[in-house]
Amino acid sequence: MEAFGLWIQGLRKEIDADLRIVGQLSNLHFTTVSRIEKGLNEPSLDTAIKMATALNGNPAEFYKIASGKNPATPKNSNENQHLYPSLQDVELIEHSFDENPIPISDYITHYLNIIWKLHNKQKDNSFYSIEKSKMDSIRKEIHKETEFSSEEVFKYLLTCDSIIFEPHFKYPNKLPPQLGYEIFIDGGVLLSEEIGRYIEYILEKSDMQKVALNRDTVKKYMRINQTISKLIETTQISSLKLNDIYLLDLEIATNNEIFMMTWNAASEEVRENNRLQKNNAGRLLLTLSRFLALYDHPEPNWLEDLKSL
């Protein structure tokens, strides 16, 4: 037990050091929020504010606004009035989306435009202090080509260094922004349940099932846990479909563990988990195993022994 305690302490120190380094790399967080029930052509003001806050690298305000407070300007109080544009501005922005529906390929740019409008309106306010060079840089990356198909957009989002950061609002204290950003630094993709459902919806409505990422690309850009790595090696899979790689286990997310896996790997883990349920500490062992995989740490022999009991 003493050896286990020392091992955990050493692991935590190493992880904390990694997070401190990552936290110094950038404060840019690019947030997408899916509105499944209304569709992407009707973004709300609170969505724009959340994105502006995240881009400004202010997670405290981000969680405050995301906690359910009314984003509209208070009628009888000047308190926090600077946080929100006027209701007329909101109606104008919303109306423009209703009148001019946009294709998915312009989804991100539309949000950037909203944020930039808010920023220009509140130039003297640090809350919207977004560097124009950053905005232009993001737009330039998105529009490397004159036109984008839905397929190209998703390939860009899933395989390049763009940041899709959707914090898990239910457990904000369990998922530090640095941890999410570290995953993106390594090429991982963090998806909420809502984003996952939206991608599933897009896949069902299009022929994107045919889009495949080769094995080397997956290994390079995705955080692949040991189960997926083993699956790829043993089955010699040459490609993974997009609809195979958007699964996020929300239960494990509460343990600061974010990863992607194929549906086959997920099914295999379900069977593994069912087997481990016979062990009183089965779920804990599985969580620890996947946590180690997230940080590319090999499992110690004692953990393998416990799982096999």
Based on the fold, state whether residues 76 and 51 are members of the same structural domain. no
The answer as to whether 209 is a domain residue is yes
pLDDT score of 36 = 25
The answer as to whether 64 is a domain residue is no
Assigned token pair, 220: 């390079």
How many domains is the chain built from?
2
Burial string for 10-19 (b: 16+ CB within 10 Å, else e) reads eeeeebeeeb
Query: Angle at Cα 163 formed by Cα 159 and Cα 168, nearest 5°?
Result: 115
The answer as to whether 86 is a domain residue is yes
Provide the CA 281 distance to its chain's centre, in angstroms. Answer: 29
Maximum pairwise Cα distance, the chain: 65
Burial string for 250-265 (b: 16+ CB within 10 Å, else e) reads eebbebbbbbbbbeeb
Query: What are the per-10-residue average pLDDT scores of the chain (309 residues)?
Result: 42 39 24 28 41 39 37 36 36 41 37 42 37 49 40 38 30 37 37 41 43 39 38 40 32 32 42 51 50 53 59
Based on the fold, state whether residues 180 and 303 are members of the same structural domain. yes
The answer as to whether 63 is a domain residue is no
Nearest partner of 191 among 148, 142, 141, 253, judged by Cα: 253
Q: Which amino acid is at 60?
A: A
Taking the CA atoms of the chain, what radius of gyration do you get in angstroms?
Answer: 21
pLDDT score of 305 = 58
Based on the fold, state whether residues 51 and 139 are members of the same structural domain. no
CB 163 within 8 A of CB 115: no
pLDDT score of 300 = 59
State the residue range of the domain holding 42: 1-57
Sign of CA dihedral 122, 125, 126, 132: positive
Phi first, then psi: give them for residue 240, nearest 5 degrees.
-125, 130
The answer as to whether 37 is a domain residue is yes
Based on the fold, state whether residues 275 and 220 are members of the same structural domain. yes
Which CATH number goes with the domain that contains 30?
1.10.260.40
Based on the fold, state whether residues 241 and 131 are members of the same structural domain. yes
Based on the fold, state whether residues 73 and 218 are members of the same structural domain. yes
pTM above 0.75, yes or no: no
pLDDT score of 105 = 31
The answer as to whether 62 is a domain residue is no
pLDDT score of 275 = 55
